[in-house]
Amino acid sequence: MENIIEVKSLAKVFGNQAALEDVNFNVKKGEIIGFLGPSGSGKTTTIKILTGQLLQTSGDASVFGVKSSALNKGSYRQRIGVLSDNSGLYQRLSIEDNLKLYCDLYHVPRKRMDEVLDLVNLGNEKKKIVSKLSKGMTQRVLLARTLLHEPDLLFLDEPTSALDPANSQQIHEGLRRLNEKGTTIFLTTHDMSEAEALCNRVAFLHKGKIQLLDEPKALRRQFADGTVNVELKNGKVVSLPAGTEGADELYQYMSKNEVVSIHSNEPTLGDIFVQVTGKELLV
Amino acid sequence: MTLSWKRINAILQKDWKDLWKNYFVSSIILLPIVMAVFYGRIMDPTIDLHYMIINLALASVTAFIQCAVIAEEKEKHTLRGLMLSPASVFEILIGKSLVTIILSVITIIVCAYLTGYNPTNIIMVVIALIISMVFYLGIGTILGLISRTIIEASFIIMPVIFLFGFGSVLMGLVEKYPSLSFVEYLPNIQLIEFAYKVEAGAGFGDLWSYLAVITAWAVVGIILSGIVYKKRQLDD
């Protein structure tokens, strides 16, 4: 499958501070890739370079075969959607007026407004003035605006950070449907469950470098330590190591019919992140 | 280069609705109108007075509103949304200038009516005013783009309002301080001298040099606003 994004040896330096260092990755058409990392790890800088808002210090980045230095062209903008923490809405106008503007900017029929508002569960709220909306509703309007023109490639920078779990889940379902229709999604998040739920591949970004990049399942397999937790009839839970020692102990419990349940100790993406970077994945 | 009227009109419609709900910015049009009412009633206005009010309208309405609406777009992060859309720099800047132009034209017409200004050669005066307006749009755009907030914009526009709105006052100081002689070439002063010549019955042959100076200011304003806009497209 063709690569939509190709990044080679990308680096960005602000003053003396390296925001990105030797970053390499490709994104295939139809993929959902997640960039995971704490604040300041380089996630937003990567998105800004890939959307033509920032020029790299060195290295190459191209999207749809267009070099990053030429990403400010209208034909490229028509194919992408960007939702970031510095996206804004016109506070004195209604949701409808905000979306009408973007329908016309992208030459999209205005009936599309209703489709995207339904997608973010705001179908009955379009007359509301934006300044009266909660943070979560504002975030959903921004997402609706980003989806208006059905972009081929969607950049989402912490898309559900302001949303409650129910709304986050609804947005995830919407994004999955969009992805099934062929939209490639580049997502940054510090929410491991969001990454697990949505992403085909995840990259761990720390101090401007990609520490790991693979499918979540493959990462869990790679970092699994083989231990199991055994719940016993006396209420205790014991953790058994991999290898003959653990197997023997398990055999003892089983032969005495003391076992209630056995669970594998699969690491979460959060555990792996800590293991690789030595840091918690904090906001 | 092709321009999409649909995009330009969308920005115009949005700005029109938004501006009338923004009393802080839209109320500025009252400043030249109140002055026109005041001076129109108490004295028989001279060209200097007509153009003090017209220049004030250009500086306070054209430059200030343009500056304020762009600064607010920056402050509220909505300008980034426009920049990331397929709309070109020209479509965005033309769209964002149209509301300012409409309000400026209305304000100048109302002020001219209130002070009883009836130029001898209206076509030449309109040409000079259109070129002047382009300059003030340019300077408003530049200041709006370099401001971080609407409050900051309303501060940094003050010297512009003073220099170009009341700049004719500086002319009185030129004889005493020759270093201020550059003031003669300011677009507002050129506009006043242009208007005097028009009233004296001058033709295009006598007027072109004034138009050329004002046009030079306008061209510099447009080029600089384009450069600053391009720079602001990047977060570097």
Suggest the residue from A104, A106, A142, A147 to mutate for an interface test with chain B (most B CBs closer than 10 A). Answer: A104
* In contact, B186 and B58? CB cutoff 8 Å: no
On whether residue A112 sits in a domain, the answer given is no
On whether residue A209 sits in a domain, the answer given is yes
Same domain? A230 vs A216:
no
On whether residue A136 sits in a domain, the answer given is no
Q: What is the mean pLDDT of residues A215-222?
A: 89
Same domain? A254 vs A157:
no
CATH number reported for the structural domain that contains residue A18 in this entry: 3.40.50.300
Q: What is the mean pLDDT of residues B205-231?
A: 94
Question: Would an 8 Å CB–CB cutoff place B92 in contact with chain A?
Answer: no
Asked if B14 and A72 come within 8 Å (Cβ–Cβ), the reply is no
Residue of B10, B78, B235 with shortest CB distance to A104:
B10
On whether residue A277 sits in a domain, the answer given is no
pLDDT of residue B205: 87
pLDDT digits (tens, 9 = 90+) for B121-151: 999 999 999 999 999 999 999 999 999 999 9
Nearest to A143 by CA among A93, A103, A84: A84
Q: What is the mean pLDDT of residues A92-118?
A: 94
Q: Which residue of A has its CA nearest to B72?
A: A90
Name the band, by pLDDT with cuts 50, 70 and 90, for residue A84. Answer: confident
Question: Would an 8 Å CB–CB cutoff place B17 in contact with chain A?
Answer: yes
Asked if B87 and A74 come within 8 Å (Cβ–Cβ), the reply is yes
Please provide the size of chain B in residues.
236
Structural domain boundaries, residue A258: 225-265
Residue of A55, A77, A90 with shortest CB distance to B84:
A77
pLDDT of residue A38: 83
| Cβ-based interface (< 8 Å): residues of A facing B | 48, 51-55, 72, 74-75, 77-78, 80, 82, 86-93, 97, 100-107, 145
Contacts of B9 in chain A (CB under 8 A): 104
Q: Which residue of A has its CA nearest to B12?
A: A101
Q: Is the pLDDT of residue A282 over 70?
A: no
Same domain? A7 vs A73:
yes
Name the band, by pLDDT with cuts 50, 70 and 90, for residue B2. Answer: confident
Same domain? A50 vs A28:
yes
Same domain? A65 vs A170:
yes
Same domain? A27 vs A62:
yes
On whether residue A115 sits in a domain, the answer given is no
Q: In DSSP terms, which residues pair with A239 in a beta bridge?
A: A229
Asked if A100 and B10 come within 8 Å (Cβ–Cβ), the reply is yes
Dig out the tokens for B112 from the structure: 């001219």
Distance from the Cα of A27 to chain B's closest Cα (Å) equals 21
What count of Cα atoms within 13 Å lies in the side-chain half-sphere of residue A39?
4
Structural domain boundaries, residue B162: 5-233
Q: What is the mean pLDDT of residues A79-97?
A: 91
State how far the Cα of B111 lies from the Cα of B107, in Å rounded to an integer.
Answer: 6
pLDDT of residue A23: 95
Name the band, by pLDDT with cuts 50, 70 and 90, for residue A270. Answer: confident
Give the DSSP per-residue string, chain A: --EEEEEEEEEEEETTEEEEEEEEEEEETT-EEEEE--TTSSHHHHHHHHTTSS--SEEEEEETTEEGGGTTSHHHHTTEEEE-TT----TTSBHHHHHHHHHHHTT--TTHHHHHHHHTT-TT-TTSBGGGS-HHHHHHHHHHHHHTT--SEEEEESTTTTS-HHHHHHHHHHHHHHHHTT-EEEEEES-HHHHHHH-SEEEEEETTEEEEEE-HHHHHHHH----EEEEETTS-EEEE-SSHHHHHHHHHHHHTT-EEEEEE-PPPHHHHHHHHHSS----
pLDDT of residue B45: 81
Q: Is the pLDDT of residue B90 over 80?
A: yes
Asked if A55 and B236 come within 8 Å (Cβ–Cβ), the reply is yes
Nearest to B186 by CA among B177, B174, B176, B199: B174
Same domain? A26 vs A52:
yes
pLDDT of residue A281: 59
Same domain? A158 vs A185:
yes
User: Which residue in this structure is represented by tokens 């605006």?
Assistant: A145
What is the pairing mode between strands A184-189 and A66-67? unpaired
Q: Is the pLDDT of residue A139 over 50?
A: yes
Distance from the Cα of B219 to chain A's closest Cα (Å) equals 24
On whether residue A257 sits in a domain, the answer given is yes
Dig out the tokens for A209 from the structure: 């470098």
For residues A188-227, one letter each, b for 16 or more C-beta atoms within 10 angstroms of the residue's C-beta and e for the rest, the string is bbbbbebbbbbbebbbbbbbbbbbbbeebeebbeebeeee
On whether residue A98 sits in a domain, the answer given is no
Distance from the Cα of A155 to chain B's closest Cα (Å) equals 12
* In contact, A196 and A218? CB cutoff 8 Å: no
pLDDT digits (tens, 9 = 90+) for B194-205: 999 999 988 888
Number of domains in chain A: 2
Q: Is the pLDDT of residue B117 over 70?
A: yes
Question: Would an 8 Å CB–CB cutoff place B149 in contact with chain A?
Answer: no
pLDDT of residue A177: 86
Residue of B78, B80, B87 with shortest CB distance to A90:
B78
Same domain? A157 vs A254:
no
pLDDT of residue A265: 83
Question: Would an 8 Å CB–CB cutoff place B89 in contact with chain A?
Answer: no
Residue type, B79: L
pLDDT digits (tens, 9 = 90+) for A154-193: 999 988 877 788 888 888 888 888 899 899 999 998 888 8
In the predicted model, what is the mean pLDDT of chain B?
91
Number of domains in chain B: 1
Nearest to B192 by CA among B177, B214, B159: B214
Same domain? A257 vs A193:
no
Same domain? A201 vs A238:
no
Q: How far apart are the first and last CA of chain B?
A: 27
Q: Is the pLDDT of residue B57 over 60?
A: yes
Asked if A54 and B18 come within 8 Å (Cβ–Cβ), the reply is no
B122: left (phi over 0), alpha (psi -120 to 50) or beta: alpha
Contacts of A145 in chain B (CB under 8 A): 81
Contacts of B86 in chain A (CB under 8 A): 74-75, 77-78, 105-107
Contacts of B235 in chain A (CB under 8 A): 48, 53-54
Q: What is the mean pLDDT of residues A214-231?
A: 89
